[in-house]
Structure 1
Amino acid sequence: MSQNKVMGAKVQISKNGPYIVSGDVPLSKEIIGVNASGESIKWEQGQKYPSQEQYALCRCGHSRNKPFCDGSHLKTDFDGTEAANRQSYIDQAKTLRGQNLSLTDVESLCAFARFCDPHGQVWGLVYETDDPLKSRHFVNQTCDCPSGRLVAWDNNTGKPIEPEYEPSIALIEDPSKACSGPAWLRGGVQLIGADGFEYEVRNRMTLCRCGASQNKPFCDGTHVSIGFNDET
């Protein structure tokens, strides 16, 4: 799952403080679009922020200048301890093998974007990937998973099927759940822990912005249950 590092595109986690983003990484918002049944079915482009060579994104959830840090982590005694498993994605993953395609799943990375749910859920669709339509749904739904929890694999080549992204960060908005979501790192941005640990470079990762994840630095979906809103 590891990708080549993108020169200069980096997120440095500061101890109990913000994410320091460097390398002129584009920042925007992406909105989860749903169908009439409330199922997540598409990503919709939202606001684009002006280009900056370096910026600090709020990690504690209390900044009055979200998505950027305003120093509120110091006033709230934010505990940003990184608790996530540091093994590689594939070493943590469970594998479900279908006839044509397979699925790997690292449940702890779930950011509750819910693209996995339509058409009978990906965990069922993987066993029906000999059907062209179901195979297409399966690939689209796994590729829309922002955290990279879910990855589709081609059984013939043994390679993952990944969407193509330029190095960028998208701030997820989830109107159907009336909340703001994580920071979505795309395209192989290097993530570095507060202790200098270099996390595996992946095409898709979601970082906690509400401050309440129990799997920091990664999102665990808590933003939904607490109703996190980056406008407040």
Structure 2
Amino acid sequence: MKERKIEPGTPLNDHKYSIVVDRKGPYMVYGRPPMKQQFIVQNEEGTSWSYRDGIEFDLEDDPVALCRCGASKNHPFCDGSHLTTNWDPSLTADNIPLLDNADVFDGPELELTDNEKYCAFARFCDAYGKVWNLVEESDDKEARELTVREANYCPAGRLKAWDKEKGEFIENRLTPSLVLLEDPQERCSGPLFVRGGIPIDDTEGVKYELRNRVTLCRCGASSNKPFCDGTHASIRFRDGLPGPHGEAKR
């Protein structure tokens, strides 16, 4: 069986947690990892800057099935709606290591890798100057700190900062957990943010690259399944969970 590739900077845990993508149905989550809701919070300039915690979930079943078609009436859990709703469950991602097809933006102290195909449209890359411009000024302390921060806040791992002197990626060590992202500014619900190197397979034995930051599609409409490609924002996907002020969002 083909070995799983591991992206540089990914923590190697004991892997008591795992996710299996049903090729025709939900995400099967094993090991009862911590799972919570998080809201994208804007800065004073109206761009994404931080996360704020919402509901925490106690996963009682093992495994637990999480919706990936977008049609469940019991989000984030699967209720069988994938059997009757009109959606395409095809797993179209090529499973080539993300960095293999990434563009590289060079700066004096840092390099920035960027694979736009995995963009989850969280927009942390725009805070206080676009990260692609900031990396070009990375010999300036503030620009360097912002480059590293904006790259690390990208939930999809599309962006990664490389320390040229040390010869290594600057990657925050994330605890293995699941996050249901919510985007109040865009008035939509976002992807399933898989953090801390949780292995992801499919039901036919495909072993997806192990990464520190991964976003999986929850709206059912991504063209890069099982990964998010930001389509949730254009279709205004809403999961119906409580919103930022406690109100149901639909």
TM-score (norm 2): 0.89
Q: Look up the equivalent residue of 1:117 and give its one-letter code.
A: D
Residue of structure 2 in register with 1:117 after alignment: 126
Tell me the equivalent position of 2:169: 160
Aligned counterpart in structure 2 of residue 71 of structure 1, from 80, 94, 102: 80
Contact kept, 8 Å, 1:6 with 1:189, in 2: the verdict is no
What's 1:18 paired with?
A: 26
Question: Number of residue pairs matched?
Answer: 232
Partners of 2:90 and 2:14 lie apart in 1 by 26
Gaps of 5+ in 2: 1-6, 241-249
Alpha-carbon distance in structure 1 between the residues aligned to 2:14 and 2:212: 11
Task: Report the identity percentage.
Answer: 46
Task: Name 1:28's counterpart in structure 2.
Answer: 36
Q: Is the 8 A contact 1:17 1:78 kept in 2?
A: no
- Describe the SS at the equivalent of 1:120: coil
Counterpart in the other structure of 2:198: 189
Deviation string, structure 1 residues 155-194 (Cα, Å, up to 9, x no partner)? 1121111112111110000001000000000000001023
In structure 2, relative to structure 1, the CA distance for the partners of 1:81 and 1:5 (3 Å cut) is farther
C-alpha RMSD of matched pairs (Å): 1.3
From 59, 71, 76, the equivalent of 2:68 is: 59
Q: Aligned ranges for residues 35-50 of structure 1 at < 5 Å?
A: 35-50=43-58
Residues 23, 91 of structure 2: 8 Å contact kept? no
Runs of 4+ in 1 over 3 A off after TM superposition: none
Question: What is residue 154 of structure 2 aligned with on the other side?
Answer: 145
Question: Contact 1:109–1:220 (CA<8 Å) still a contact in 2?
Answer: yes
Please, what TM-score do these two structures have when normalized by structure 1? 0.96
SS at match of 2:191: strand
- Give per-residue Cα distances to partners, 1:130-157, cap 9 Å, x unaligned: 0001111111111000000000011112
- Is 2:155–2:215's contact at 8 Å kept on the other side of the alignment? yes
CA distance in 2, matches of 1:77, 1:128: 48
Q: Which residue of 1 aligns with 2:212?
A: 203
For the residue of structure 2 that corresponds to 1:217, the secondary structure is coil
Native 8 Å contact 2:88 2:221 kept in 1: no
